[in-house]
Amino acid sequence: MKKTIIVAGAAGEGINTVERFIERILKKVGYEIFSYKNYMSRVRGGYNYSTIVISDKPILSIEDQADYFVALNQVAYANARLQLKEDGICLVEGDPSEEKENLIFDRSLLKEVSKSKNAFSMAAVGALLRVFGCEQEVLNDLNNSKWTDEVNASNMQAAVFGFEKTQPLFAPPENLKTRILMGGNQAVALGALSAGLSFYSAYPMAPSTGIMTYLASVEKEMHIIVEQAEDEIAGIMAAVGASSNGVRAMTGTSGGGFALKVETIGFAAVSETPIVIANVQRPGPATGLPTRTEQADLAFVATASQGEFSRIILAPLTVEDAFYTTFRAFNLADEYQVPVVILTDQLLADTTQSIPKFKTDDLKIERHLNTEITPDYKRYAFDQISGNRKYPGIDAETLIMTDSHVHDEYGAVTEEVEATLALKRKFLKRIEAIKKTLKKPLFYGDQAYETLFITWGSTYGALKDAVDELILKGEKVALLAFSDVFPLDKEVMDPYVSQAKCIINVEGNAMNQFGMILRMETGVMFDASINKYDGRPFSSAYIINEFEVINHGKH
């Protein structure tokens, strides 16, 4: 069973509240949840909607059309016919004599039952909870501590009205799983905390701000410092400064803010200072679509800042993966003393998903520090590719110098040819070492595949669902999903390409940026591509339709 609810209306009409009540209660009674916010860049008004997919099995992507559509205003009601499945039901407030095919909440009766200005939305919540087989006692969870007792009572009356108006159509799964509800930004924040984050500095920029707001909410509890910097440059400079003094530090932003951080990334690279940077992508250039999603920063991030140096780019596949990938980012940054970019996007940031509890027993914080008194210590030894780092104050005997210039093994500024060449060769050797360390892509699908899809980051979820559906249709397909996207080992594709009759690149941009990097790093070329760059996320239906177009073209 898989059903989709869309809650639509204007900003300020309570879309997030309705979504939160539905997803939390249905998760509590045993359903799997995957929800995504599709919203405009404005505080009030406009047309916004949340998509909530509910199933008895884990879910990795949204559906474009709804089984149940909650229309909070007339604009939303007008859009319902475009966003409803053929047999879908629209929940709307109005006169029951007007529309027979929809689930109408009688406006006059609602006013008699509840004085709440949110009466209809709460009635819709009650109705949907009933549809999915909840008992009436779950309505007690609809109270909000931020509301007055009077408001909570009125909302409860409206929810009961909706609950009693409908009949249960589904039953919650019997085998309740121990799951948690988690958003992508929160998963990144928790991964950082688990890795020993002590300092986070950033300038607010959607859709990355949720990382900072979550960390700020636990700042005292976790004994960390969260600094809202005056601008993007100050944000990364403060983080690099903290890291250069031995603190695990991080900054976060989106594409426009990352552009401002570029010079400091070069400084971190040449000074061999570990730093973790979250870039939560949104469509550009410039302000672009600040609350929409895209995967169009990869080529920029892979080459950002002048000169040649080693860096790592990681792109989590799912909300769950965002936690573990962020944890690993800190260990990699410390091991190789390089900038590590966690490249997510608005889709992953604003997705809420039911996932297993994180398994932390096997997670090990690896600082790769030299804590021994070391005679003639060379902080930047040219033959030291990883580890052996000291920072100022780690012991009383060691002097550490940090500078933005080419330097010798002690950190002293130099323009000597041999030192210049030795430092560059060190960076190049480090790149090769990183390539051997990073994770191989995730393979999924028919072992006897003829078509091989390639993707990276959050597009994985929709593609996996599409592969499942295509296999059921008899297609011999599989996918490779990259979470470690740069640099790439030149042999990473060797086990997969010989069997594939057709390689299709799938990513959320127009120019196949990962496909270009794949070709550049491995020589592997794709035969066709499926792209999406309208600011909206992939769905499995979109991928299947594009695949069928490609197949039709081949024949």
Please indicate, yes or no, if residue 89 is contained in any of the structural domains.
Answer: yes
For 471, the token pair is 């296999």
Residue range 250-258: average pLDDT?
97
Percent of the chain past pLDDT 90, that is, above it, reads: 86
For residues 204 and 334, membership in a common domain is answered with yes
For 352, the token pair is 């809420």
pLDDT digits (tens, 9 = 90+) for 322-347: 999 999 999 999 999 999 999 999 99
Residue 100 scores a pLDDT above 70: no
Residue given tokens 């994985």 in the structure block:
460
Percent of the chain past pLDDT 70, that is, above it, reads: 98
For 31, the token pair is 């359903």
pLDDT value of position 555: 59
Q: Which domain holds residue 473?
A: 442-554
For 184, the token pair is 């992508």
Residue range 524-534: average pLDDT?
97
pLDDT value of position 175: 67
For residues 147 and 223, membership in a common domain is answered with no
Which of 338, 356, 374 is the endpoint of a domain? 356
pLDDT value of position 152: 86
pLDDT value of position 554: 67
Residue range 239-246: average pLDDT?
97
CA dist 176 and 31 (Å) reads 8
Q: Residue 311 maps to which CATH number? A: 3.40.50.970
Residue 45 scores a pLDDT above 90: no
Q: Residue 92 maps to which CATH number? A: 3.40.920.10
Q: Sorting pLDDT into bands at 50, 70 and 90, what band is 76?
A: very high
For residues 247 and 331, membership in a common domain is answered with yes
Q: Sorting pLDDT into bands at 50, 70 and 90, what band is 105?
A: confident
Residue 206 scores a pLDDT above 60: yes
CA dist 129 and 25 (Å) reads 8
pLDDT digits (tens, 9 = 90+) for 450-482: 999 999 999 999 999 999 999 999 999 999 999
**What is the DSSP-derived secondary structure letter of residue 539?**
-
Instruction: Of 102-106, 115-119, 125-129, give the lowest mean pLDDT range.
Output: 102-106
Residue 97 scores a pLDDT above 70: no
pLDDT digits (tens, 9 = 90+) for 370-414: 999 999 999 999 999 999 999 999 999 999 999 999 999 999 999
Question: Maximum CA pair distance of the chain?
Answer: 89
Residue range 417-422: average pLDDT?
97
Residue 65 scores a pLDDT above 80: yes
Is-contact 399 443, C-beta < 8 A?
Answer: no
Please indicate, yes or no, if residue 515 is contained in any of the structural domains.
Answer: yes
Please indicate, yes or no, if residue 425 is contained in any of the structural domains.
Answer: no
For residues 41 and 155, membership in a common domain is answered with yes
Angle between helical axes of 255-270 and 232-244 (0-180°, round to 10): 30
For residues 152 and 193, membership in a common domain is answered with no
pLDDT value of position 503: 98
Q: Find, among 156, 137, 246, 260, the residue nearest to 202 by Cα.
A: 260
How many domains are there within the chain? Answer: 3
Cα dihedral 96, 101, 102, 106, rounded to 10, equals 10
Backbone angles phi, psi at 6, to 5 degrees: -115, 130
For residues 352 and 245, membership in a common domain is answered with yes
Please indicate, yes or no, if residue 253 is contained in any of the structural domains.
Answer: yes
For 236, the token pair is 């990364």
CA dist 341 and 317 (Å) reads 14
How big is the CA angle at 467 (ends 464 and 468), to the nearest 5 degrees?
A: 90
pTM of this structure: 0.95
- What residues contact 216, with CB distance under 8 A and at least 6 apart? 226, 228
- What residues contact 114, with CB distance under 8 A and at least 6 apart? 122, 123, 154, 155, 157, 158, 161
For residues 295 and 323, membership in a common domain is answered with yes
Q: Sorting pLDDT into bands at 50, 70 and 90, what band is 96?
A: low
CA dist 213 and 218 (Å) reads 9
Backbone angles phi, psi at 426, to 5 degrees: -60, -45
Higher-confidence residue of 105 and 20: namely: 20
Please indicate, yes or no, if residue 411 is contained in any of the structural domains.
Answer: no
Residue 99 scores a pLDDT above 60: no
For residues 160 and 197, membership in a common domain is answered with no
E strands, 242-335, in order: 249-253, 275-281, 312-314
Q: Find, among 439, 444, 459, 470, the residue nearest to 529 by Cα.
A: 459
